[in-house]
Amino acid sequence: MRSDEAVSVDLVRHPRAPANARRAIERHFRECGVAETTIDDALLVVTELVNNAVQHGRGEIELRLRTPPNGVRIEVVDEGEGATSDIQGYRDSGGWGLRVVDHLALEWGAHEGTTHVWAVLERH
């Protein structure tokens, strides 16, 4: 498998979905030679993004992973709407999860009008 090849994993909307996403991250990123420190950060980020999709999203959940040479990209997509407005107000909310994402990611956000949230982490 090429290290920059995209991988897509369908996740069942269930409380175990974050754990299933973590297993996919560990398997794929290790196969691509990503350092353990980056994998550790990616595990925290994917847990938060998938947990949010389970709790606040709708429909099917898809995890997309890429490992370009300069980073790792994590995307979580579900069939809901309006994640952008939720993300813009995260600093005023009581939750800490998106603050963790903000701290660990080089950049992150959501595609306008959807629940397609992405994060890019530095690759060590």
Per-domain residue ranges for the chain? 7-122
- Segment 53-104, tens digit of pLDDT: 998 889 999 999 999 888 999 999 998 876 654 555 555 555 678 889 999 9
The structural architecture, per CATH, of the domain 7-122 is 2-Layer Sandwich (3.30)
Q: 110 - beta bridge partners?
A: 117
Which value, in Å, is the radius of gyration of the alpha carbons in the chain? 13
Strands (E), 12-114: 61-66, 71-78, 107-110
Task: Look up residue 1 and give its two tokens.
Answer: 């498998």
Q: 64 - beta bridge partners?
A: 8, 75
For position 99, what pLDDT does the model report?
86
Q: 117 - beta bridge partners?
A: 76, 110
Q: What is the mean predicted confidence (pLDDT) over 40-65?
A: 94
Quick check: 111 pLDDT over 90?
Answer: no
- Segment 4-26, tens digit of pLDDT: 678 999 999 999 999 999 999 99
On whether the pTM is more than 0.85, the answer is yes
Q: In sequence order, what are the residues at sequence separation of 6 or more whose Cβ sits closer than 8 angstroms to the Cβ of residue 105?
A: 45, 119, 120, 121
